[in-house]
Amino acid sequence: MPEINEERFFIELTHEVIDSEAVVARLLRGEAGAVVTFDGVVRNNTKGRRTLYLEYEGYETMAVKEMRRIAERTVAEFPDLDRLAIVHRLGRLEITETSVLIVVTSPHRKTAFHACHYAIDRVKESVPIWKREFFEDGEVWVEGQTPPGF
Amino acid sequence: MPEINEERFFIELTHEVIDSEAVVARLLRGEAGAVVTFDGVVRNNTKGRRTLYLEYEGYETMAVKEMRRIAERTVAEFPDLDRLAIVHRLGRLEITETSVLIVVTSPHRKTAFHACHYAIDRVKESVPIWKREFFEDGEVWVEGQTPPGF
Amino acid sequence: MNVDVLFFGQCREIVGAGRASVEVATPTAAGVVEAVRMRFPGLGALDGKLLIAVNEDYAKPDDAVRAGDEVAIFPPVSGG
Amino acid sequence: MNVDVLFFGQCREIVGAGRASVEVATPTAAGVVEAVRMRFPGLGALDGKLLIAVNEDYAKPDDAVRAGDEVAIFPPVSGG
């Protein structure tokens, strides 16, 4: 369910592989001099225990709304950024695959770095998505975060 | 002249288009959970004056050495990062093309953000590369920076 | 009041279903959480951590819940 | 001592060549900059801003310059 809000945001929840380059190409235009990208990728271990794969599930309709709210807060916090994408994947993910992608374009790099860092921190604390980690000898729900104030 | 230093760094000065995805793929392995990328791209204006294109030239042998020194300093400053790439392009660049690419992979995102920001700040202040900006009615050497202490 | 509650993540697993109809005495977010806790004692494993959303936005304990609202209960989030 | 000096960026443009042989009285980085300034007055446009590298590393004014060293003079850098 891709969405563009006044062409400034690109928000997507997908069950397919995330194509970072296509998302950057979609956002980038001549006004921006800096692009900062955060890719969250599936690690091969948690505290030394070997991970086989992860499964993500979401409260999908609310997750999209929450991603849009985060995009709006990020622009309010960093008004000189140009454009912003927040993309999250659901379903089974293999090691080194991208689960979440944040892209910020901006005339200047400092804003791009800070806005990208801000957005991923917010995504991790409030978008209603949960992951289960599968090991050789079992599985666990990964411990989560609570949005500030709730 | 691509170089890999103990597989931890990827340093390259190139006259070709920079393929960000290929650089990320080269660095990424199962240990890393976070990838932060900085793409410096050619803007369509400088203070409102319309830019046609840029031309970059370098003191190439020293530039590669300086990029390697910056990579080493970045790892010393952020020892828990996993891998680091610094790639710079030379020659004529069109609007929205990438002139410089920094990629940091790391087990955790905070290190990846800070190390990536640190590395691009160092690149801009000390790698011996110069750019000329071409406008409709003339050209200028872009004002530069001096490495601290020199 | 009868409220249809959605469950996600570990809550869905504990409840054994993605949705349940629950009789609620106090028409607030806290009232719904209380009623759900009584009905599904296994959720005690997440005591103090349960989150509730009303109409797809996080709700505070005193927020009102009205007939027809979309209500969801879930554990702390772990996306990213 | 005769020193072969490389020029880059705007310095190359002002000097009109990427390389020149310069007679240097004091065998230090500052001595080379001084000799180059005398030889190419146009570099005055960059007074106080010229950078010098010896053997592909930035040099401070008192750093020694020896026969056979690779010496380069250039303006502030503007990569990225």
Q: How far is CA D38 from CA A31, B11, B93, D41, D44, in A?
A: 43, 38, 36, 6, 9
Region A116-144 average pLDDT: 97
Q: Which of A50-54, A121-125, B3-7, B125-129 has the lowest mean pLDDT?
A: B3-7
Residue A10 clears pLDDT 80, i.e. is over it? yes
DSSP assignment string, C10-43: HHHHHHTSSEEEEE-SS-BHHHHHHHHHHH-GGG
> pLDDT value at position A3?
45
Q: Which residues of chain C fall short of a pLDDT of 70? A: none
Summarize pLDDT for B45-100 with one digit per residue, the tens: 998 999 999 999 999 999 999 999 999 999 999 999 999 999 999 999 999 999 99
Residue of D nearest to B128 (CA): D77
> pLDDT value at position A6?
56
> pLDDT value at position A7?
77
Q: Which residues of chain D fall short of a pLDDT of 50? A: none
CB-CB: which of D6, D57, D75 is closest to B130? D75
> pLDDT value at position B6?
56
pLDDT mean across residues, chain A: 94
Are the beta carbons of B65 and D58 separated by less than 8 Å? no
Region A126-137 average pLDDT: 97
Residue B113 clears pLDDT 60, i.e. is over it? yes
CA pair distance C58, C29, nearest whole angstrom: 10
> pLDDT value at position B2?
42
Region B9-31 average pLDDT: 95
CB-CB: which of A62, A65, A124 is closest to C80? A124
Percent of chain C with pLDDT over 70: 100
pLDDT mean across residues, chain C: 97
Residue B7: name the closest of B80, B74, B85, B116 by CA.
B85
Interface of A with C in 102-141 (CB under 8 A): 120, 123-131, 141
A9 contacts A83 by C-beta, under 8 angstroms? yes
* Token pair of B129 as six digits: 């590369």
Q: How far is A116 from chain B (nearest CA, A)?
A: 9
CB-CB: which of D6, D56, D79 is closest to B56? D79
B143 DSSP 8-state letter: P
Region A48-55 average pLDDT: 95
Residue B144 clears pLDDT 80, i.e. is over it? yes
Region B108-124 average pLDDT: 98
